[in-house]
Structure 1
């Protein structure tokens, strides 16, 4: 009697002899899987305004960032609020269902009003925003947008 391991090995040898996989198949599949969710995983980050060289406190403490995946755009303002915390206000031009702020300390769900969202009492540290759209802006567009990490 043949055990399962030997039986599977014999079936594998038979299939490889009868119908071998194309030589480039494994590399093509790895590349396809790696790039399939790039629009969902990362948006393009560009710094719009930050005057870190100002000598007085005020607007210089505000950081403005813009994120885009080419279809959906997001504008984010980070301002100091209370000691060791900030306020984050943002706007998305898509039909937003949910916005989450992801930090090492945990996740926070945003207060939403149309395409506007906000977070109060945000601690300093590396952050990322995850936006879930109610519907994609295009038929093949993503409904889940995550920004790269940024420092608050």
Structure 2
């Protein structure tokens, strides 16, 4: 393409932009709305709200730490009670306010070691023998209508 053809195309595109700006102008808040929409797109799946409920020293079976965490994405809430075992690993007891189909813990990065939880009744689950480091929980639950909902917590450190 020669520079003359390029200049002709640029002039044509400029006239088209001016015509469309007059006929169908862009809403004044479109850019802000799009930035906000992209920022929150699928936010509930990627980042659940983390609330530190309590941290205390355990008086039972040694001097291990006890940590209680609560995560919620607005639809599903999970409560975790984390204790250190005598072997130096961690035990996670959890409760979900919906019927869990699967609960897994991912140790390290997203491609890290994955372990399934043992599911109990009424949204209860447990995972024993979890080593120290960064972990995240991935849950699939069913709502009252039977629709599946996936939730993933942010990483937290054991």
TM-score by length of 2: 0.68
> Which runs of structure 1 show a deviation greater than 6 angstroms over 4 or more consecutive aligned residues?
12-18, 54-57
1:31 equivalenced with 2:36 (yes/no):
yes
1:51 equivalenced with 2:56 (yes/no):
yes
Deviation at 1:55, TM superposition (A): 9.0
Matched residues in 2 for 1:136 and 1:34: separation?
A: 29
Deviation at 1:122, TM superposition (A): 0.6
Matched residues in 2 for 1:32 and 1:120: separation?
A: 39
Show the counterpart of 2:3. none
Gaps of 5+ in 1: 1-5
Counterpart of 1:51 in 2: which secondary structure?
strand
Match of 1:110 among 90, 98, 117: 117
Deviation at 1:96, TM superposition (A): 1.2
Could you say which structure has the larger radius of gyration?
2
1:87-106 aligned within 5 A: 87-104=91-108, 106=112
C-alpha distance after superposition, 1:8-65 (max 9, x if no partner): x97x97978975654643442232122132222222222222224x799637522111
1:50/1:60 contact within 8 Å kept: no
Deviation at 1:124, TM superposition (A): 0.3
Match of 1:72 among 69, 76, 85: 76
Show the counterpart of 1:3. none
CA distance 1:108–1:15, change in 2 (3 Å):
farther
Show the counterpart of 2:129. 121
Counterpart of 1:62 in 2: which secondary structure?
strand
In angstroms, what is the RMSD of aligned CA positions?
3.5
Show the counterpart of 1:149. 155
Matched residues in 2 for 1:38 and 1:96: separation?
A: 21
- Count of residues in correspondence between the two structures: 145
CA distance 1:126–1:109, change in 2 (3 Å):
same
Matched residues in 1 for 2:64 and 2:85: separation?
A: 14
TM-score by length of 1: 0.70
